[in-house]
Amino acid sequence: MKRETYIPLTWMLPAVVLILFNLDLATSADPPATTTATTTTATATTGTTAVTRAKDPGPRPGMDAGLPLPGLSTTQLYYFNAGKEDFEEVESVADGLGPTMNLDNCAGCHLQPATGGSSPPVNPQVAFAKLNGARNVIPSFITVNGPVREARFVKNADGSPDGGVHSLFTIAGRSDGGATCGVGQPDFATAMANRNVIFRIPTPVFGAGLIEAIPDSVIIANLQSNISTKNSLGIRGRPNIVLPGSTISGQPNANGNDGTLARFGWKAQNKSLVLFSGEAYNVEMGITNELFQTERNENAGCQYATTPNDFTDTDGVDGVTTMNGFEKFSIFMRFLAPPKPSADKPGGAPSIGRGRNLFGAVGCSQCHSPSLRTGNSTVAAMRNQTVNLYSDLVVHDMGPGLADGVTQGQAGPREFRTAPLWGLGQRLFFLHDGRTSDLRTAITAHASGSSRDRTASEANLVVAKFNGLTEPQKQDLFNFLRSL
């Protein structure tokens, strides 16, 4: 099950004043000059001294994720394993797959470095497009070595806002069903030519239950912390203030019904893991369920299962067999432990320690908050826990460079949730659309726009401070990020 879902990564590098680097930036939020990203080591000569250009070490080897939370009861562990099995199950047309969809299982999108993660090194959408005789044409933005993606159209044909997911594939021609289905794929080529397509990649769901268990009051209190520093550097963080243009930068994306804070998805548009799962089951796989009962495409020749396709089986013999699919998904994610950081890889413990200090000094930690606390959770394993997620879980204006033109909930076209950084060390693709696999590129992409026309990214000054670091300091910062 893929959602815009996660991570990888529109992560924001916000700011704290850093006298150490003596940058006179207090009066401007214009973007800094960015350096050209590279994944290879280069040297620059200053006088007679050769300086090695800092390099993203790349994904950390090994698998430090995918395990259940420590402290689960025997019964909770049983439900975790049952949920994982369903999360990994491949759906068929007889199960309700389609008639339009992006893939046929949750784990195919959430697989790096383990089940529950993000895009794997080989994109399963390429093989899926022709599976069982399907007649799909693979869109140009889906490649074997690229990220798993979903596509959204920014506008409808009449110019009105769209923003919805346009499924990549159909079941037409499949041998397990689809012989009578005449539904075609969207015209992605024309939409691409008109610059009307934006992409999302899967967000990791490691530690999702701990994120769900963080009280709203903790998120708001964290948002209000260090407020003078945040304000001085253009990071807008006071709750419930509507900024010019009806944006809510630096504020939580509140639920429109009960006013509580949503926190899942690239724009923090989903309130809970149950909603997150039910929506993704329908949008990403085309499987209707008790939360989303209506087929996205109701062409009569394309329906091969009763509706809803996924349902509570009241004849089940026990709790697990009675439970519907999206509830099993949500339990698996709720009980999924966060990734384990490395103490000494890459670069060694001293370098990682220096990088951690720079992460705070440059200002990254002002949005990528190192930790928050859960509340009095019903699940003992999640009760009053420190959650080292590296996110404030609110949305920020990231400027025109990262803008996707789509509004979700109260999050506007330039706004994204601060993506949690735990597990970053083993991710392959970064930013909401997976446009890069290089840390330097991902960091500098956070800077765009200008204070003169009120389009400045809230990260501009922080990226300027990053650019002001020496290359050895940047290497320490990269090593720290890849240790997470």
CA distance 368 to 202: 19
Least confident of 96-105, 119-128, 152-161, 253-262: 253-262
pLDDT of residue 236: 72
CB 160 within 8 A of CB 196: no
What's the rounded mean pLDDT across residues 162-184?
93
Q: What is the pLDDT of residue 230?
A: 84
To which residue do tokens 């015209």 refer? Answer: 187
Q: For the residues 368-382, what does the mean pLDDT come to?
A: 97
pLDDT band at residue 365 under the 50/70/90 scheme: very high
Residue 22: other Cβ atoms inside 10 A: 7
Mean pLDDT of 17-24: 36
Q: Which residues contact 300 (CB under 8 A, 6 or more apart)?
A: none
What pLDDT was estimated at residue 47? Answer: 56
Give the three-class secondary structure for 112: strand
pLDDT confidence band for 27 (50 / 70 / 90): very low
**Which tens digit of pLDDT belongs to each residue from 191-213?**
999 999 999 999 999 999 999 99
The pLDDT value given to residue 75:
97
Token pair 């696999």 is found at 437
Percent of the chain with pLDDT over 90: 76
Q: What pLDDT score does 451 carry? A: 87
Torsion-angle region of 450 (φ positive above 0: left; ψ -120 to 50: alpha; else: beta)? beta
Least confident of 28-37, 303-312, 450-459: 28-37
Q: What is the band of 64 on the pLDDT scale with cuts at 50, 70, 90?
A: confident
Which pLDDT score is estimated for 239? 32
pLDDT bracket for residue 404 (50, 70, 90):
very high
Q: 261-262 and 395-397: which strand pairing?
A: unpaired
Q: What is the pLDDT of residues 309-353, one digit of tens each?
A: 999 999 999 989 999 999 999 999 999 999 999 999 999 999 999
Residues 273 and 283: beta-carbon distance below 8 Å: no
> Do residues 415 and 397 make contact, with C-beta atoms less than 8 angstroms apart?
yes
Domain that holds residue 336: 1-484
Model confidence at 435: pLDDT above 80:
yes
The percentage of residues in the chain with a pLDDT greater than 70, rounded to a whole number, is 87
Q: Is pLDDT above 50 for 4?
A: no
Tell whether the model's pLDDT for residue 280 goes beyond 90.
yes
Amino acid letter for position 23: L
Chain segment 139-168, per-residue pLDDT in tens:
999 999 999 999 999 999 999 999 999 999
Residue 29 has pLDDT above 70, yes or no: no
Please state, as a whole number, how many other Cβ atoms lie within 10 Å of the Cβ of residue 449: 23
299: Cβ contacts below 8 Å, ≥ 6 apart = 99, 181, 182, 183
**Phi and psi torsions of 232, nearest 5°:** -65, -20
| Predicted local confidence at residue 91, as pLDDT | 96
Mean pLDDT for the chain overall: 88
Looking at residue 247, its pLDDT comes to: 53
pLDDT single digits (tens) 454-465: 999 999 999 999
For the residues 252-270, what does the mean pLDDT come to?
83
What is the distance of C-alpha 214 from the center of its chain? 18
Interacting residues of 106 by C-beta distance below 8 A, sequence separation 6+:
1, 2, 87, 88, 280, 329
The answer on pLDDT for 31 being more than 70 is: no
Residues contacting 225, CB < 8 A, separation 6+: none
- pTM for the complete prediction? 0.88
Residue 298 has pLDDT above 70, yes or no: yes
Where is pLDDT greater, at 41 or 55? 55
Number of structural domains (the chain) is 1
DSSP state of 171: -
Out of 62-71, 105-114, 440-449, pick the least confident. Answer: 62-71
Please give the structure tokens belonging to residue 448.
């765009």
Residue 30 pLDDT level (bands cut at 50, 70, 90): low
How does pLDDT run across 212-260, given as a tens digit for each residue? Answer: 999 999 999 999 888 888 877 778 743 323 344 445 577 787 776 777 8
More confident residue, 20 or 179: 179
Determine if residue 187 is left, alpha or beta; phi over 0 gives left, psi from -120 to 50 gives alpha, anything else beta: beta
